Homo-oligomer: A and B are copies of this chain.
Amino acid sequence: MIVVLESGIAEKQIEDIIRVLHDHGFDVHRSTGMQHTVLGAIGVHPEFDHRQIELLSGVSEVVRITEPFKLTSRAFKPEGSVFDIDGIKIGGQEVIIMAGPCSVETEEQMFKIAEKVKESGAKFLRGGAFKPRTSPYSFQGLGEDGLKILRKAADAFQLKVITEVMDKSQIDVVEKYADIMQIGTRNMQNYTFLKDLGKASKPVMLKRGIAATIEEWLMSAEYILSGGNHQVILCERGIRTFETATRNTMDISAIPVVKKKSHLPIIADPSHGIGIRDKVIPMARAAVAAGADGLLIEVHHDPDHALSDGAQSLYPDQFSQMMKEVRIIAQAIGRNVA
Q: B52–A65 contact, CB under 8 A? A: no
Residues of B within 8 A of A240 (CB): 211, 240, 242
Q: A219–B134 contact, CB under 8 A? A: yes
Q: B51–A38 contact, CB under 8 A? A: no
Minimum distance in angstroms from A135 CB to a CB of chain B: 5
Tell me, in angstroms, the Cα distance from A45 to B326 when the chains sit together.
Answer: 38
Residues of B within 8 A of A283 (CB): 252-253, 256, 290
Complex interface residues of chain A between 272 and 296 (CB less than 8 A to chain B):
273-279, 282-283, 285-291
Complex interface residues of chain A between 180 and 229 (CB less than 8 A to chain B):
186-187, 189-195, 209-211, 213-216, 219, 222-223, 226-227
Q: How large is the interface on A (under 10, 10 to 19, 20 to 34, 35 or more residues)?
A: 35 or more
Q: B136–A245 contact, CB under 8 A? A: no
Decide if A4 is an interface residue (CB 8 Å cutoff).
yes
Residues of B within 8 A of A52 (CB): 304, 310-311
Number of copies: 4
Q: A249–B239 contact, CB under 8 A? A: yes
| Contact A47/B328 with A38-B2, A54-B276 known, Cβ cut-off 8 Å | no
Q: B251–A49 contact, CB under 8 A? A: no
Interface string of A153-192 (1 = CB under 8 A from B): 0000000000000111100000000000000001101111
Q: B257–A246 contact, CB under 8 A? A: yes
Residues of B within 8 A of A138 (CB): 47
Interface string of A309-338 (1 = CB under 8 A from B): 111100000000000011011011100000
A-B contact pairs, 22 of them (CB 8 A): A2-B65, A7-B75, A47-B139, A49-B308, A60-B65, A63-B65, A132-B192, A135-B222, A136-B223, A137-B226, A186-B190, A211-B211, A213-B245, A214-B243, A240-B242, A242-B242, A245-B257, A246-B257, A250-B253, A255-B282, A282-B289, A286-B287
Top 6 closest pairs, chain A to chain B, by CB? A211-B211, A51-B311, A328-B332, A289-B289, A33-B42, A285-B289
Q: Which residues of A contact B (CB under 8 A)?
A: 2, 4, 6-8, 27, 29, 31, 33-36, 38, 40, 42, 44, 46-47, 49, 51-52, 54-55, 60-61, 63, 65-66, 68, 75, 132-139, 166-169, 186-187, 189-195, 209-211, 213-216, 219, 222-223, 226-227, 239-246, 249-257, 260-261, 273-279, 282-283, 285-291, 304, 308-312, 325-326, 328-329, 331-333
